[in-house]
Structure 1
Amino acid sequence: MRRMPEDTDADGLTVGQVSTRLRVTVRALHHWDEIGLARPSLRTTGGYRLYTAGDLERLHRIVVYREIGLGLDRIRAVLDDSTADVPGALRAQRTQVAERIDRLQQLSAGLDRMIEAHERGLLLSVEQQAAIFGPQWNPDWPAEARQRYGDTTQWRQYAERSAARGPEEWQAIADANTALDRALGEAMDAGVTPGDPEANQLVERHREVFASYFPLTRQMQVCLGRTYEADPAFAAHYDGIRAGLAAWFRRLIDASARAHGIDPDTATWE
């Protein structure tokens, strides 16, 4: 390595100047120097590194190759091996970049859906909602639910599930709910009472079906049972299946909770 007098810095650039010009860290420049990838050609009499115009040209190429994803060993081969297939290496890297762009675009689309799901709750058109959930469905309900529950953990869990679902998945969930409603009506007709094995199976089935929206603890299920009986809209739904079904279903849930050591009178949403 040639040495230059202290007052001839104009003939070369210091590590700090190169770092600023190329927007790479001083640490990276020192590392490249240590491994012999890009060593400064000059030093001052005081021992400071100086990069020449030729050094800077090599560094420019290193930065470009690094930005497109080539590893340092591959960069060294491209720069120093006269037999290296540079176009082939660049084509291979271009393929990898294209694949990465595709993955990032998919990630971006997924993030868009996640944001929309958090804001809307249900990523279906009004027509799709009517076709899946039936004419009694009100498309304003998801917005109303977000208004009431948008700051809760359960809403976030629901939104994450919603973002990953299309019409087919929602149709399967709607079918599962319809089948459960039918099973509840048939069990009530058959005289099933709270605490019966069949009653407890229905309570467990309700928890499984409801988990399509968010995980439902037994205590939370007790709270839902209260809502089914007390809320006019829910009560109308269940009592529309069978008169008195809302109150009957709540008793089934309460009996199952007691069997698991939960007092329905003190259960909270947790």
Structure 2
Amino acid sequence: MRTVKVKEVADLVGISVRTLHHYDEMRLLSPDRMTDAGYRLYSNANLEMLQQILFFRELGFPLKKIKEIIHDPAFDRLEALELHRSMLLEKRSRLDQVIATVDKTIRHAKGELQMTNKEKFEGFDFSHNPYEQEARERWGDEAMEKSNAVIGNMPKDEQSAMSDEMVMIFEKIATVRKGSSDSEEAQAAIGEWYALLNSKDYHYSLEAFKGLGQLYAEDERFTRSVDRFGDGLAEFMRDAMAVYADMNA
């Protein structure tokens, strides 16, 4: 049976060696073999399981839930693949509708056609995004309100100092946003952000921190504020905060 070294797997898939090590440490995906020198060797079965994990990740499942699903004795890989396909087709269909709306809006902006108000919003159906709704209900608005209340009760000089520190951290994260969200530099900066959020009376759990990152990218109020420090920063922070939460869970 041919095996593949961890670096080869990382290069093949496009994820970091560190991520694969984390999957092993949390017993989500452990290699079939280890050499005497401690090198991880992955089999074809390991690669198939990794593919399955990444399908679940593409659909927004957290790592702990994926571990629970794929290690259940009743797990049926083929059935899961068929479900993945159905969900991805639905996702693609919604994206195709949104793209069509963008194309029509471009032509509308050029004066080539007229759009009704209804046509301007075709393809947007947030009722089919349970992950965003769950994040908002469990972690988003309530967490932000509590955090803002804590800041609002600080003396003015402490508010100013914290604001300066927030800006400094956002600027630091913005400098590495063109790289990988799981790089050491990105994770160190995100760790500073997590520590700052938890430096006062309100505590963000790792789960709440991850949900907050989702809101940065999914709620235009947050996106506008975060992206002032660099285009695409909100989406980068979402990904980096998810990595941080998963790796420190």
The TM-score with structure 2 as length reference comes to 0.39
The TM-score with structure 1 as length reference comes to 0.36
Larger of the two Rg values belongs to structure: 1
- Relative contact order higher in (CA < 8 Å, ≥ 6 apart): 2
